[in-house]
Amino acid sequence: MSAGAESGVEQMLRQVAPGRYDTYEALLHALAEGSVWMLLWHGQAGSPDAQYGNMEVDGLGYAPCVTSAQELAASGWNRAHAVVPGRAVASSLYPDRWGLWLNPHAPGGGVGVPWLDLRRIAAGLDRLPAGPLHLSEPALELPQFYALLGQNAHRTPAVRALRRAWVQPALGTPYLAIGLDLYDGSQAAVESVRLMMRQSIGAVPEGLPVSTVAMSDEHDPVAMWMRANTRPFFDRDVHGGAPAAPSPAGGYGYPPVGHPGGTAQAY
């Protein structure tokens, strides 16, 4: 990148503001296609002992980075750095629930990208709903669908239990999520569950989007919410007590304040 030229990440970063999820989503797309300058606390780029810096904001961990060589110079960082594709950074950070903080030296403290959004970058932004997600028990009465799904689940030995949630993404269409608790994740089990859903989906009113989520996914915010706040509507083992107390209103799995952005602490 030539001197003075802005990357796509920097162009979108200047437009991000609280509540502007459209520009924040565009920033995520720019991150997925671009690179960032990761600040190394230990080691050199490419060395086995290389270690990203870390910082804490609102009790959550982030790895700090800058968005260009110009911002690196402006930051005053005097240790090593590594230029890494955004998708590679996302894939390495999110499994350990680390976010990415862009330009913490900048006026206002820069912008934080929570680990759940890094997960979306790693998996494909079009494949996972845009957060923060507002989740609740479904208010729609769908007795025929739930009855048929329960009958088909009973005939599908791989299914232990089924849960449900109403998901409202920050951007996009709300949808009904069905949580799949399976005895095993083998290909045969997955195929049998796909067949179960195909046999049941005809009972859903036209125009109502339905998606599935694996309850075994420890990083999926919908599965996390369902585990904490719901009980199964189909349970082969006939267990499951009362649901836990509902989580506070807001975007589940995201920082309660300052998304996107916030005030960075010194690193």
Name the least confident of 55-64, 111-120, 167-176, 257-266. 257-266
Q: What is the pTM of this model?
A: 0.85
The fold for domain 8-123 equals Trna Endonuclease; Chain: A, domain 1 (3.40.1350)
Q: What type of residue sits at position 12?
A: M
Q: What type of residue sits at position 117?
A: D
CB 200 within 8 Å of CB 162: no
Of all residues in the chain, the percent with pLDDT exceeding 90 is 78
In whole angstroms, what is the distance from residue 85 CA to residue 214 CA? 29
Over range 29-50, report the average pLDDT: 92
Q: What ranges do the domains of the chain cover?
A: 8-123, 134-235
- The mean pLDDT value of the chain amounts to 89
In whole angstroms, what is the distance from residue 83 CA to residue 35 CA? 7
pLDDT tens by residue, 159-211: 999 999 999 999 999 999 999 999 998 999 999 999 999 999 999 999 999 99
Over range 74-91, report the average pLDDT: 96
Give the architecture (CATH level 2) of 134-235: 2-Layer Sandwich (3.30)
pLDDT at 238: 76
Over range 223-227, report the average pLDDT: 96
All residues at 6 or more sequence positions from 232 whose CB lies less than 8 Å from its CB, including other chains: 161, 162, 163, 181, 240
In whole angstroms, what is the distance from residue 209 CA to residue 201 CA? 10
Q: Which ranges of the chain does DSSP label H, i.e. alpha helix? A: 8-13, 21-33, 69-75, 86-93, 115-123, 143-154, 187-200, 221-229
